[in-house]
């Protein structure tokens, strides 16, 4: 079950830093299979709000406050992804965190206020399987894939992951404030 109060505290906050958390996609064929989640550092907060799909049920969006020991420059993102996919990078398998704060493709997210969060469900279900964080001119979509989580914005990773779920039935986007009464 989604913990609405944890997501609710994000609304009205401005994004100070934008991080992408990646589990190494060893041998994966394309970006649509890469387990990626997001980390947001918001104004008035020092910790990172890590938003992902729950690893226990591979369905429910969750947010937790955490910190990351090492954050890697964005310019290393694509070379690392490509290297993992081709099996060229050895080393311990653990997540890597990339700082995307200063990248132009995320310019409508960084330093912008989170206006709303929408829960995405199958119309026949109560529990959301994805969330959409809404900004004035962009969005962050966090949804499940077979290995965990994927993210999408208007300019990044446009894999249209929701089309997979549309095959299961009609989707419904419910503002977080209305989801309290439904869930």
pLDDT at residue 7, rounded to an integer: 94
pLDDT at residue 111, rounded to an integer: 98
Using the predicted structure, report yes or no on whether residue 179 has a pLDDT greater than 90.
Answer: no
pLDDT-derived band at 147, boundaries 50, 70, 90? confident
Number of domains within the chain: 1
Strand 130-134 and strand 116-122: the pairing is antiparallel
Rounded Cα distance between 114 and 13, Å, is 6
Look up the pTM and report it.
0.94
pLDDT digits (tens, 9 = 90+) for 106-145: 999 999 999 999 999 999 888 899 999 999 999 999 999 9
Cα 106 to Cα 42, 51, 140: the distances in Å are 15, 16, 10
Residue range of the domain that includes 74:
4-182
pLDDT at residue 91, rounded to an integer: 73
Give the Cα-Cα-Cα angle 143, 59, 101 (nearest 5 degrees). Answer: 35
pLDDT digits (tens, 9 = 90+) for 57-70: 889 999 999 999 99
Give the Cα-Cα-Cα angle 169, 173, 176 (nearest 5 degrees). Answer: 140
Residue 9: which residues within 8 A CB-CB, separation 6 or more? Answer: none
pLDDT > 90 fraction of the chain, expressed in percent and rounded: 72
pLDDT at residue 1, rounded to an integer: 64
């Amino acid at each position: 079950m989604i913990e609405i109060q944890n997501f609710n505290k994000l609304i009205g906050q401005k994004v100070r830093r934008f991080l992408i958390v990646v589990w190494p996609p060893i041998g994966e064929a394309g970006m649509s299979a890469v387990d990626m989640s997001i980390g947001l550092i918001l104004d008035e907060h020092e910790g990172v709000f890590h938003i992902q799909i729950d690893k226990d049920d591979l369905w429910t969006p969750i947010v937790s406050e955490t910190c990351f020991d090492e954050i890697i420059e964005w310019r290393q993102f694509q070379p690392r992804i490509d290297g993992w996919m081709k099996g060229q990078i050895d080393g311990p398998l653990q997540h890597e965190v990339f700082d995307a704060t200063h990248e132009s493709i995320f310019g409508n997210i960084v330093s912008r206020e989170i206006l709303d969060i929408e829960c995405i469900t199958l119309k026949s279900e109560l529990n959301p399987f994805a969330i959409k964080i809404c900004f004035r001119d962009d969005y962050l979509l966090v949804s499940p894939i077979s290995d965990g989580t994927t993210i999408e914005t208007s300019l990044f990773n446009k894999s249209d992951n929701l089309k997979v779920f549309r095959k299961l039935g009609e989707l419904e986007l419910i503002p977080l404030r209305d989801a309290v009464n439904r869930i």
